[in-house]
Structure 1
Amino acid sequence: MKPTTSHWGAFSAEVDAEGRLRVEPHPADPAPSPLLGNLGAALDHPTRVARPAVRRGWLENGPGPDDRRGRDEFVEVPWDDVLDRLAAELDRVRTGHGNQAIFGGSYGWASAGRFHHAQSQLHRFLNTIGGFTASRNSYSNGTSSVLLPHVVGDTHAVLRQASTWPTIAEHTELIVAFGGVPEKNVFVTPGGVTVHGTPGHLTRFGGRVALISPLRDDVPSTVDARWYPIRPATDTALMLALAHTLVAEGLHDRGFLDRYCVGYPEFERSLLDKDPEWAAGITGIPAADIVALAREMAAHRTLVTVTWSLQRTEFGEQPVWAGIALAAMLGQIGLPGGGFGHGYGSMGDVGDTGPELRIPHLPQGVNPVGEFIPVARIADLLLHPGESYDYDGEVRRYPDTRLVYWAGGNPFHHHQDLNRLRRAFTRPDTVVVHEPHWTATARHADIVLPATTALEREDLGSGRRDTHVVAMHRIASPAGEARDDYAIFAALAARLGVSGAFTEGRSARQWLEHLYRGWRSEPAFDEFWAAGGLRLPPGREHHTLFADFRADPDAHPLKTPSGRIEITSATVAGFGYPDCPGHPVWLAPTETGPLRLIANQPHTRLHSQLDAGDTSRAGKVAGRERIRLNPADAAARGITTGDVVRVFNNRGACLAGAVLDDALRPGVAQLPTGAWFDPVEDHAGGPLCAHGNPNVLTADIPSSRLSQGCAGQHAAVDVERFDGPLPEVRALRSPIPPQVDRPATVPR
């Protein structure tokens, strides 16, 4: 068995005599992730991209917009031929249209390895040939990343230096969990988690939890929680009513608000008509329960937490900002176990006690191109070149994109309104994808280059706040003709005359040794590699967010204009955005429907990764993604567990397998993201995904003009039993028939 790691945990593995992958979790891990069960599909699943492939229309007609992307067949082409063609196309675009016409898309989740990090590899390569249009922020918390600097001055502190779980366990009496603390997400951190400590912390927490979520299982069943089954997207209204009660009963901490905050009086004036009776009609939470909860919060050491999911909605800034304001009114920010938290249960490293160290990584260089887009505006970029948009006080324009280069990401998982994204992908001249598997993004590309998986190469692995750095040994030989991203880019760099700048004369193994030795001298690299990794020095077990600021706000001011918590931000108010004014407000969702769909993270995979794996497939119903329905909603539609249903709205539809569960409040459906998009072409009833991808239903709109963040957590839908002929699920098979002979050179 050889050591390696993944975004969901470290493990050892080997391929046995019968070609099967055997996996053993890291011996130090008290709670190994069930996602390890998906790894077998990484090596030899039929969806592996075996050889370089080029879309026939691009091969025969050359670059240009083409509505056949995603529908055309592929032709396998020898490596030298496809690399020559791609190098020529990169040169054509950068010389004829400028480097801003190249969009360097990559979301960075392809590998836990720090050298073979696809995003770093792609960006380093593009920077050596003159740069590219980049993306900024993330789908996960892109709204908060823009808002938090205006309110508390620092995104990093809130997201990466949260109060630790031992501090919470010792001091917190009440966690008010807006969005819950869903255990399924804590197994994952970019770069990996060697020791999964959060599940144990949740189990051992001795205080009480107020679970504010439409889903009762958004905290583990072992936790003492009272469920407040709120209507989706109404958390801000509840927060404002809680704040109203604190003011009405004199329970707010006026001294804290005066010393540590600015803009509170304006916010308080806005609360005059936001009483519990008002909120009860919006949220579905009885007014008496709201009053009782506010009193309990004021009487105990209380941690107000907001999951990242709440900011992935229309007006997603508001619950985060209102949560901070509510915590400030309690006066406990900076006290051990009190205050505000953002992301507990959203990622494995939030509240972790591991060390916060910079680990070895591949330098990306400097991008000479200043153009960028907020990451969730990719379809707008392609559909509306030259158009202006607002972003964080600026007016920007979308550049004219001619070439999209994607490595290590799958926008047909992360993005919303996939039928609109399909139209957007018809617009560039060329779309290039590096992929181990035939994902929907690969199927909508012009050039698909087979990339190795993390199991097929060597690397250094470690996550944020991880306890270990893992020597990632190669477990298996590359499938087919797959190559590392580094080898692909090195070959392109040689063709474009920048080989020295990209490789610096090093092989992949030499890069690993170079990065390690630049990070530390002991133990020596060879010793580290033979040992399989090393344990890092322990981090701070007890830490409280904003403790220094509370101790002396003048000596340790926040990085806001005032140096204080800005409950009202003059800067944001000055932008004049009606969808994000200068302090927290209630803004009702603009879209309503019979059911509110929650498109949250799956518990059977990471995003869409390894959807063909055993664990992922075992969670499906009738071969489709499962949708959970409240029994009352199902009965009204004649649906029973196991039925295939059609989930639909005016943007599209998908098929899913029904599961009835009273852990959802009535009026709510839950369909996790990540089923590989599988469009049924020319379906008589309109656009249809046969596999159950909810992003055919979500709206491609920004959270607000401030952040332009992802708003894909919710959608208004209806559901009906599907009694017609079931279309085949084709997403989990290759679009190219098996071939015995290597493809011949294709004439130019």
Structure 2
Amino acid sequence: MKRRDFLKLGALSAASLQAKELDGAAQALFDKQSGLSANKFGPFYVRTIAGRVVETEPFEGDACPNELNNALLDHIQNESRVKYPFVRKSFLADPNNPKPELRGKEEFVRVSWDEAIKLSAKILKENFDKYGAEAIYGQVYQWGSLGKVGHSQKTAKRLLNVLGGYVNELGGYSYGAATVILPHVTGSIDPTLAPTKWEAILKNAKTIVFWGTNPVVSNKIAIGVPLHNSYKYYDEIRKKGESGEMKIYSVDVYHNESARYFGAKYLEVVPCTDTAMMIGMCNYLFEKGLYSKEFIEKYTVGFDKFKEYMLGTKDGVNKNLAWASKICGVSELELAKFSEDLAKNDSVIVSGYAIQRQDHGEMAYWALVTLNAMLGHIGKEGCGFVTNDGMHKNADESFIAPKLAAFETKVPQKFIDSGLVPKTKGYELPNSRLIDALLSPGKEITRNGKSYKLPKIRVMFNANGSTFTRHPETNRAIKAMQKVSAIITCEPFWTSTAKFSDIVLPAALECERTDIEMANSTSEYLFAIKPLVKPFGESKSDFEIARLIAKEWGREEAFSEGKSELWRR
């Protein structure tokens, strides 16, 4: 080849290469997409180029868009994501000799989806067939993801019911003590499920107390898709506080963000002493004649017994402000002034979940209702107490629109009647007693007046939550979770529980799968959640993972009813 011809060929090749690069850049522009998505941080628009998130934009219906969604790219493509199915080395070598003492220490081995599904299905079925539903624990909490079809809590429960039954969690860590005690005290849980609206509070209350709550931070997220309507009311509360129209208090263990935002009078309380503080305040109201005798006599029962305890008639301990101050750390003078402000002004106490997350946590809410009864503000518009400020229900409007049903966790009766799914009895376990069950199976316990026998759990199926994250006494939990034969975790991230598992199945995030969801506690918006990016690594949706395990048992039809993830044939 002549040199001139060679140079011509080189020039043509370079031009061709540049054209291909330009074509690639142009193609990337054509690959630019935009779509609406939603998660527990709120609704948002996602912009992608060539299948990669480049930015997020607020949804116009979100009153206070959550900045956490600005980090969506980091959330998706994070080194803590589970990229492939993994099995712990010793467990893979011999599931019958799993060496549980190596959990959390030993390396994981990457396996194919086929191998991971077969092994998971085998472990679950063998233990169910040999020991029954008592042997399978479904750690399927509500906070991990959302969706009416692909919510990991729903798909996992349906899967374990297709197996034939399992040990189901009873109650919750978030609000567990409150949901048990309040119906006994107020007669119903309804006041907490439909709390006083912020409009009424702003219109009528002269004093507002944020007790054990940090709403400016905690209400950035929700169980469903939050629209953050509370924040416009927080701004109005702050302005009323600045103008002197409203007195604002914060009772907490630290000077939190909400207290600083509202410019609230801060009362620092020793952790887990809220009950003592409230009882001391009740005592002060009684002794000073500041309590509503009319309300107590007309709308309550049992005050005589409480009065005996409060005054120390039987035990000789007068639970006055001096007694309370030594326990809670708030001075007698501050407690007296606080009590008088609540009694002399129309007031509302907005309590978070924190005060009932302690030993005998139900007593804190019982004391809260008692204090409000003595103040006499219960029943007045915008006054009294609120115990559910973490669900956005104080601000969200309810619309007359049909509610969207969620994926049913129960197996249709026809599959049981046909013999495809065994007819068995599931078990219930108070969720805070999981560690007790693992360490002391067979022990008798009581909850809300009912007796329970702790089951002998052999396999844990985890989805949508991390036991180590939410359960106290981590070292005790580690010891307990070494007692089970197998731990299977379906999870997008390498959580502490995932790292302590035997089998880890990578689950897709909301923006990587198909689903549908409503605005939190309303029917104002219906969000069609579509996959905007490809699942990270080899991740699959929770629905697909559960379907594949059910298929391995020959029970796919009982799980999916022949429908796709869009829940249509």
TM, length-normalised to structure 2: 0.85
> Which whole-Å CA distance do the structure 2 matches of 1:321 and 1:406 have between them?
33
> Which whole-Å CA distance do the structure 1 matches of 2:529 and 2:429 have between them?
34
Q: CA offset at residue 324 of structure 1?
A: 0.2
2:534 to 468, 473, 477: 477
Q: Does 1:275 align with 2:309?
A: no
Count of residues paired in the alignment: 509
- Aligned partners of 1:256 and 1:328 also within 8 Å: yes
> Which whole-Å CA distance do the structure 2 matches of 1:108 and 1:417 have between them?
21
Question: Secondary structure of the equivalent of 1:210?
Answer: strand
2:304 to 253, 260, 265: 265
Question: Secondary structure of the equivalent of 2:165?
Answer: coil
Q: Give a deviation string over 1:428-464, Cα, whole Å, max 9, x none.
A: 1111111122222111111111111111111112243
State the AA in 1 paired with 2:130: G
Question: Secondary structure of the equivalent of 2:487?
Answer: strand
Q: Does 1:98 align with 2:132?
A: yes
1:197 to 229, 234, 238: 229
Q: CA offset at residue 291 of structure 1?
A: 2.1
Q: Specify the alignment match of 1:125 in structure 2.
A: 159
1:116 to 114, 125, 150: 150
Q: Give a deviation string over 1:68-123, Cα, whole Å, max 9, x none.
A: 11111111122222222222222211111112210011112222222111010010
Question: Secondary structure of the equivalent of 1:22?
Answer: strand
Q: CA offset at residue 368 of structure 1?
A: 4.4
Q: CA offset at residue 154 of structure 1?
A: 2.3
2:437 to 381, 386, 409: 381
The verdict on how the C-alpha distance between 1:82 and 1:213 changes in structure 2, with shifts beyond 3 A counting, is closer
> Which whole-Å CA distance do the structure 2 matches of 1:85 and 1:387 have between them?
31
Q: Specify the alignment match of 1:507 in structure 2.
A: 564
Q: Which runs of 5+ in 1 are unaligned?
A: 515-748
Q: CA offset at residue 128 of structure 1?
A: 1.5
Question: Secondary structure of the equivalent of 1:67?
Answer: helix
1:219 to 251, 258, 282: 258
- Aligned partners of 2:193 and 2:388 also within 8 Å: no
Note the 1:104-253 alignment, pairs <5 A: 104-155=138-189, 157-193=190-226, 195-205=227-237, 206=240, 207-253=246-292
The verdict on how the C-alpha distance between 1:247 and 1:220 changes in structure 2, with shifts beyond 3 A counting, is closer
> Which whole-Å CA distance do the structure 1 matches of 2:486 and 2:367 have between them?
44
Q: CA offset at residue 17 of structure 1?
A: 4.3
Q: Give a deviation string over 1:682-703, Cα, whole Å, max 9, x none.
A: xxxxxxxxxxxxxxxxxxxxxx
Q: Give a deviation string over 1:30-81, Cα, whole Å, max 9, x none.
A: 3111221332233222222222111111111223562111111111122222
State the AA in 2 paired with 1:349: K
Q: CA offset at residue 8 of structure 1?
A: 1.4
The verdict on how the C-alpha distance between 1:109 and 1:286 changes in structure 2, with shifts beyond 3 A counting, is closer
Larger Rg: 2
Comparing 497-506 with 363-372, which one deviates more in the overlay?
A: 363-372
- Aligned partners of 1:202 and 1:220 also within 8 Å: no
The verdict on how the C-alpha distance between 1:447 and 1:181 changes in structure 2, with shifts beyond 3 A counting, is closer
1:290 to 308, 330, 335: 335
Note the 1:225-374 alignment, pairs <5 A: 225-272=264-311, 273-344=318-389, 346-355=390-399, 358-365=403-410, 368-374=424-430
Question: Secondary structure of the equivalent of 2:504?
Answer: strand
The verdict on how the C-alpha distance between 1:94 and 1:261 changes in structure 2, with shifts beyond 3 A counting, is same
1:454 to 482, 485, 510: 510
State the AA in 2 paired with 1:299: K
Q: Specify the alignment match of 2:30 in structure 1.
A: none
Question: Secondary structure of the equivalent of 2:201?
Answer: helix
> Which whole-Å CA distance do the structure 1 matches of 2:83 and 2:334 have between them?
59
TM, length-normalised to structure 1: 0.65
Q: Give a deviation string over 1:238-283, Cα, whole Å, max 9, x none.
A: 2112111221122222222122111011112222212222222222
Q: Does 1:53 align with 2:80?
A: no
> Which whole-Å CA distance do the structure 1 matches of 2:564 and 2:46 have between them?
25
The verdict on how the C-alpha distance between 1:381 and 1:118 changes in structure 2, with shifts beyond 3 A counting, is same
Q: CA offset at residue 403 of structure 1?
A: 0.9
- Aligned partners of 2:278 and 2:371 also within 8 Å: yes
> Which whole-Å CA distance do the structure 1 matches of 2:121 and 2:266 have between them?
57
2:469 to 413, 429, 443: 413
Question: Secondary structure of the equivalent of 1:31?
Answer: coil
Q: Give a deviation string over 1:539-571, Cα, whole Å, max 9, x none.
A: xxxxxxxxxxxxxxxxxxxxxxxxxxxxxxxxx
The verdict on how the C-alpha distance between 1:88 and 1:146 changes in structure 2, with shifts beyond 3 A counting, is same
Q: Specify the alignment match of 1:535 in structure 2.
A: none
Q: CA offset at residue 218 of structure 1?
A: 5.0
The verdict on how the C-alpha distance between 1:38 and 1:158 changes in structure 2, with shifts beyond 3 A counting, is farther
Q: Specify the alignment match of 2:419 in structure 1.
A: none
Q: CA offset at residue 350 of structure 1?
A: 4.3
Q: CA offset at residue 303 of structure 1?
A: 0.8
- Aligned partners of 2:511 and 2:532 also within 8 Å: yes
Q: Which runs of 5+ in 2 are unaligned?
A: 1-33, 241-245, 312-317, 412-422
- Aligned partners of 2:51 and 2:533 also within 8 Å: no
Greater per-residue helix proportion: 2
